[in-house]
Amino acid sequence: MKTVTKLILGAITVHTMSCTEIYPLIPPKESPTISKLICVSPPVEKNIVGTWNFNSTLNPKSSVELGTVTFKSDKKVIDPDSLFENHLDLGPVISKTYSVINDTTVSYGPANDPTKVYKGSMVKVYEFIKQSSSSMRLGQTYLLVVTTNECDKIQLTLLGSANNRTRIVLTR
């Protein structure tokens, strides 16, 4: 019996000792870097494409409007929550499109007023109204200054608005 007990204890000791070996972990071939963890926003013309939630003070009739808007890659605007007006005095809006203009210089306000010049990127939103049974014409254009362009947030301000109070904040 002593021999069997010694064999069992010996086996347990050998087994326990073999389990105590430690093998170092092999590091991954590509470690994440800080630049991969931080989003670098694409240019506005690419970033704006997609569906966004909006928070807007664009409509003077209400203090803040909330909803969704989609800027499609074909330059059409899908606006189910009426961020941009759906009816003008000239008639109903039947189409909305947009364009992004980079590195532009725009003067607004009185001529020769150097404080009324904007330099940078803009988003233009065009609203078309029905002119006759088979044609449409431009009804209104929004000139929106790009004040923030982040991966999940774009802030636009209506060109010439007092103290930049008329703005749209788009978030994903």
Range in 5-14, 40-49, 52-61, 97-106 the model is least confident about: 5-14
Neighbours of 147 (CB within 10 A): 15
Same-domain status, 32 and 44: no
Would you say 126 and 141 are in contact if contact means Cβ atoms under 8 Å apart? yes
Give 27-68 pLDDT, tens digit per residue: 666 655 554 568 899 999 999 999 999 999 887 666 789 999
15 pLDDT higher than 60? no
| Domain count across the chain | 2
Helix (H, G, I), strand (E, B), or coil: what is residue 22? coil
Same-domain status, 31 and 44: no
Same-domain status, 89 and 17: no
Same-domain status, 137 and 150: yes
Between residues 97 and 22, the one the model is more confident about: 97
Which segments within 5-112 are labelled E, that is strand? 50-56, 65-71, 77-78, 87-88, 91-107
Residue-range definition of the domain harbouring residue 44? 39-171
Give the amino acid at 4.
V
Would you say 111 and 79 are in contact if contact means Cβ atoms under 8 Å apart? no
Distance CA 58, CA 101 (A): 20
Tell me, what's the pLDDT at 117? Answer: 75
Same-domain status, 53 and 108: yes
163 pLDDT higher than 90? no
123 pLDDT higher than 90? yes
Tell me, what's the pLDDT at 34? Answer: 54
Between residues 116 and 100, the one the model is more confident about: 100
For residue 89, CA distances in Å to 52, 85, 93, 126, 139 come to 28, 11, 10, 15, 9
Average pLDDT for the chain: 80
